Amino acid sequence: KDIQYVESYCYDKREYARFDSNVGKFVGYTAFGVKNAERWNKDTSQIAVRKAQREAYCMNHVTAFYPNA
């Protein structure tokens, strides 16, 4: 519940979009990022893959970094 998967998209050292598992969708931070986020959010398979990454990557590795969790 407290574990968050974040995938950031950057260009020229500036973040333009991000997927946040707590929000459950892509969020754009620039005009370019907003357009891409809207397009990516329409593709439900993209959202499902990103949500599965939280389970596959984060949940399996949390015990390696936090053994008492």
Report the interhelical angle of 31-42 vs 44-53 (nearest 10°): 100
Per-residue pLDDT for 68 more than 70?
A: no
The pLDDT tens digits for 5-59 are 899 999 999 999 999 988 999 999 999 999 999 999 999 998 998 888 887 777 7
CA quadruple 51, 57, 59, 62: dihedral positive or negative?
Answer: negative
Tally of residues, the chain: 69
Look up the pTM and report it: 0.77
Q: What is the largest CA-CA distance in the chain?
A: 42
Which fold would CATH assign to domain 6-65?
A: 3.10.320
Pairing of strands 25-28, 14-20: antiparallel
Model pLDDT, residue 69: 60
